[in-house]
Amino acid sequence: VSTTSPVPVPAPAAAPPTTAVAVELTAVIVAVHDNRPWVLMVDRDGRPALPSGPFDPVGDRTLDRAMRRWGTDLTGLSLGFVEQLYTFGDIGRDPVAAASGARVLSIAYLAFVAAGAAEPSAASGARWMDVYELLPWEDRRDGEAAGFGELMVSAIRAWSGADAAGDNGDERPSRLDRAEQCWSLGGAPWDPVRSLERYELLFEAGLVAEAAASGAAMPATSAATGVAAALDHRRILASALGRVRGKLTYRPVVFELLPDTFTLLQLQHVVEALAGVTLHKQNFRRLVEGAGLVEGTGRRAEGLTGRPAELFRFRRGVLRERPAPGMNLPGRR
């Protein structure tokens, strides 16, 4: 079955590629205040859009560095955690560019800004926007169907039934299966991480405004389906949100969003804001302390009300002890 070394025949693929396309960086810059996740958005033809910048093939030695430099310029803030997300390249994703024959590739990056940092420089035209204004169904902190409702569920049911009848063989999971898995319509628990799948399902079902080619029927804003963004930027945001939520569970990234010291309730609120679900308070405390993720400073917070809480800090030592330290979200597995 195997040859240990490949034969020394030049493969056809080895010829240097010559395809030219436009490449840009797109940033999903996230912060958390006031129990809400915020994302930095600019305006693009009247719609909110993720900030994008050109990729400079001469000046930028690595993509990561390009992202860091440009993101810092844009926000005037120092970016904590920075990670490449995904490269988006569908032909229809930028209709304007497509019309002129250009193909736009966006390398999306995810970055965190610590709470308490300054505002973005006004010159950039960038503003913080509530993530759940764009993806309202992803926030389940106040009840299952908060802002989503049975309406949407039945719409999805009706739509997913449409091909269950057609029975596409049993290769790919049916739309019904996908809908059930995404929205926990069957017995399965809600999985915060699947935000991208949920957005894609809504898109396919024609329930988000972006799905209507060239601004047809749907309103750009609805309480249930949120505010439409430019191009495929809501898709990118949904993918970022899923990544953040997944990452939370096995890497201590939350601390990049918090000040150096914080109370356990603050920490819990940040996790809840990102995960879009509420957590059991006592268990959360036990978990993070028991896992050695945090350590108490002797000091206490300037209490607003109630018993003053101890201030904690991230305990770097965990990294040496556990390979995958993070916050457990309920119902994973």
Partner DNA sequence: ACGAGTTATAGTCAGAGTGATGATAAGTCG
Partner DNA sequence: CGACTTATCATCACTCTGACTATAACTCGT
Residues 232-291 that bind DNA (CB under 7 A): 263-265, 280-283, 285-287, 290
Choice from 28, 32, 37, 38 touching a second copy (CB under 8 A): 38
Is the Cβ of residue 33 or residue 285 nearer to DNA in the bound state? 285
Is the Cβ of residue 233 or residue 269 nearer to DNA in the bound state? 269
By CB under 8 A, tell whether 223 contacts a second copy: no
DSSP summary character for residue 258: S
Which one of DNA, a second copy, none is in contact with 290 (Cβ closer than 5 to 8 A by kind)?
DNA
CA distance 5 to 34: 58
Choice from 35, 56, 72, 303 touching a second copy (CB under 8 A): 56
CA distance 104 to 246: 28
CA distance 177 to 184: 10
Q: Name the amino acid, one letter, at 206.
A: G
Is the Cβ of residue 51 or residue 311 nearer to a second copy in the bound state? 51
CA distance 162 to 165: 6
Nearby residues of 12 by Cβ (< 8 Å), 6 or more positions away: none
**How far apart are CB 324 and DNA at their closest, in Å?**
11
Choice from 28, 32, 48, 132 touching a second copy (CB under 8 A): 48
- Give the CA angle between residues 123, 88, 14 to the nearest 5°: 120
Which one of DNA, a second copy, none is in contact with 208 (Cβ closer than 5 to 8 A by kind)?
none
**Binders of DNA: how many residues, by CB under 7 A?**
22
Residues between 16 and 75 that touch DNA (CB under 7 A): none
Token pair listed for 200: 């894609």
Which one of DNA, a second copy, none is in contact with 116 (Cβ closer than 5 to 8 A by kind)?
none
DSSP 166-226: H--TTSSPPHHHHHHHHHT-SSPPP-GGGHHHHHHHHHHTT-SGGGSTTS-SS-SEETTTE
By CB under 7 A, tell whether 320 contacts DNA: no
By CB under 8 A, tell whether 6 contacts a second copy: yes
Token pair listed for 137: 């169904």
What is the contact surface with DNA in residues (CB under 7 A)?
Answer: 263-265, 280-283, 285-287, 290, 300, 303, 305-310, 328, 330-331
